[in-house]
Structure 1
């Protein structure tokens, strides 16, 4: 079998040298600074994989995490591949995590002590991809309580020696010590945000259920808002934030009388004025929170009925006086409301909704948001199919 780790292979990086101590320190300081400022688990894992790869000068580096609920090891980030999941205990990663011990292998194809683990992992992957695994270094990492929660797996040393050393073990062990604690922090942040998301969806569903609207309405509005946010150029973090917050747009309906929410015909002027108060009620429920998600939800709650031309409510804001979150949620909410049955109307046909949006571009709706809506219409329609009434 041709050895793709050799320097004479044209599609493989040239052999390199080990880092000098000051270079190693610079790499560690650079990555620890980046990791400390990250909230996203996926990005933390990517930074850690990159850090490990540079520290030991490997061709690839994978960060494996333990998923105890599913009895699996998983990696969202692995150089050269997409997300991986393997059974708990499988491969070298599983062996290292189970024993808490590091593993050195100079040549995967001649190693006998770990033959079974290699055939479950690296050698099997080589057969599927054509890649040639030679040297491997696997080091477990632990959380603050000392429990093993994952491991680094470095593949193919890219220096002339072609094998990992005791120095690599020390250096990657240092990275693993920091990584375990950083991942634990990122997982905690993720758990907190997932809990907040569940609470927000539940509260949003309560608000909608008061007016006989389905739970899927808030899910669809969340997905539409996310698609539009990305379509308008917002970054991933901000799009995710709006997706989590937009389900709360009608939370203020919890304070609106059933006689108004469930009225099958048009509202009187007095009733409509009372209905409009749900925007400020929602804002007042949320405005004092220090959480990013709920602060964003407060903006959405109070502004999703404002109009680009200044004729909306509750404050008659005009144009860019309306926060972009409010402008996005406005069109997401109207699209879903018009396309759904309500106590006071039947669902509109799609073409009728699209024609209204064309007419209301620059009137009710921000022209840029309307354009993003039409640009992303296939994705928006697929959301409705995925979350039907």
Structure 2
């Protein structure tokens, strides 16, 4: 580093080493967050910059968003805004010595973070079909010249054209996963609609389940699996006759036994899938009516013999049932629900999960309000 302040320019062999090292990692990465980090780090290191922001285009909102900006949280801007928006619209690279002398520059991010943007280079990220996916924005050249060069534009454009293919593959996989999740939610709604439930019941239980899973110490990834799997918890109801499912009065012993069968029916529908989401859904379908004290169904499991997924969905499914209007009852007050959960702690429900639920009740009530039936 010159004068103890600047970094040296990269030699050709150093640049190639950076490109090959990152390209090897990028082509093997299937997680979007980690991939964006790698691609942003590659842009920063290749150009000897202080920061690199990789903006991606969101067609649904017509925005550019940066999941990864070094030392910053996610940022979203209109697709026509700022230097990034200009390059996205024109698909032409842009090199600027001092951003504050360019009227297209948006300084609000600097103001928010206390950062000072000076030199900037922005290049389009384009796939093999010549479609623009987003833009690379590298900030503050750290060599003595402090200005990005045409060579920087050339090299980063070349490297980004290779990595765009890996990015597109991951984005396509995410779209497929989202489609699968949507199908699962819709299938879950089928079971609920037949028993006069609303689609929002499925959404609420899913969000409650994810929140409780996180509070119970599960990873974000596993909590999201529970969120996606939980809508299938009552899918077995598709095989229960309407006359029993929607009977307004008390069920006979035979009718109650028929209702209980939905747990095993749901499990049998899902158990043979090799997809982790549907495997989780199978466990939840079978075990969400088990009780901590062993008096539940279908297998009379107790305590930690009941899978954590089943214990989590048991709590949140009952909460939503009590907190919502049903054809046969009005919604309970929150105080009445708290009293019931406190009474059933260690009986119907896992005591640790009940403590966590009550401790973070405000979060569950916020979800209830967000997905209210009215």
Same fold (TM over 0.5): yes
Aligned to 1:338: 322
Aligned to 2:197: 213
Aligned to 1:37: 29
Cα distance change, pair 242–153 in 1 and its aligned pair in 2 (3 A) = same
Aligned mate of 2:231, from 244, 247, 264:
247
Aligned to 1:25: 17
Cα distance change, pair 378–65 in 1 and its aligned pair in 2 (3 A) = same
Aligned mate of 2:157, from 161, 164, 173:
173
Aligned mate of 1:384, from 354, 368, 373:
368
* Partner Cα separation in structure 1 for residue 108 and residue 341 of structure 2: 54
* Partner Cα separation in structure 2 for residue 22 and residue 361 of structure 1: 62
1:220-369 to structure 2, matched below 5 A, reads 220-369=204-353
Aligned mate of 2:40, from 49, 71, 76:
49
Aligned residues: 370
> Any stretches of 5+ residues in structure 1 without a counterpart?
1-6, 9-13, 111-117
SS at match of 1:260: helix
Q: Is the 8 A contact 1:266 1:344 kept in 2?
A: no
Aligned to 2:50: 59
Q: Is the 8 A contact 1:136 1:154 kept in 2?
A: yes
Aligned to 1:74: 65
1:139-178 to structure 2, matched below 5 A, reads 139-178=123-162
Aligned to 1:106: 97
Q: Is the 8 A contact 2:54 2:137 kept in 1?
A: yes
Q: Is the 8 A contact 1:227 1:376 kept in 2?
A: no
SS at match of 1:119: coil
Moved beyond 6 Å, runs of 4+ = none
Cα distance change, pair 109–217 in 1 and its aligned pair in 2 (3 A) = closer
CA offset digits 1:263-317 (Å, max 9, x no partner)? 1122111111110111111122222223332222122111111122222211222
SS at match of 2:124: strand
SS at match of 2:103: helix
Cα distance change, pair 322–125 in 1 and its aligned pair in 2 (3 A) = closer
* Partner Cα separation in structure 1 for residue 243 and residue 271 of structure 2: 27
Q: Is the 8 A contact 2:6 2:142 kept in 1?
A: yes
Moved more, 187-196 or 86-95: 86-95
Q: CA RMSD in A?
A: 2.7
Q: Is the 8 A contact 2:23 2:163 kept in 1?
A: no
* Partner Cα separation in structure 1 for residue 304 and residue 273 of structure 2: 24
CA offset digits 1:28-58 (Å, max 9, x no partner)? 536753673343x344323322332233231
Q: Is the 8 A contact 2:97 2:147 kept in 1?
A: yes
TM-superposed CA distance for 1:123, in Å, is 5.4
Aligned mate of 2:84, from 88, 93, 97:
93
* Partner Cα separation in structure 1 for residue 45 and residue 35 of structure 2: 15
Q: Provide TM-score, normalisation by structure 2.
A: 0.88
CA offset digits 1:94-153 (Å, max 9, x no partner)? 34334444333333356xxxxxxx322245755776643322122222224232211211
Q: Is the 8 A contact 2:191 2:234 kept in 1?
A: yes
Q: Is the 8 A contact 1:141 1:179 kept in 2?
A: no
Q: Provide TM-score, normalisation by structure 1.
A: 0.85
* Partner Cα separation in structure 1 for residue 81 and residue 333 of structure 2: 53
Aligned to 1:183: 167
Q: Is the 8 A contact 1:263 1:343 kept in 2?
A: no
* Partner Cα separation in structure 1 for residue 304 and residue 57 of structure 2: 46
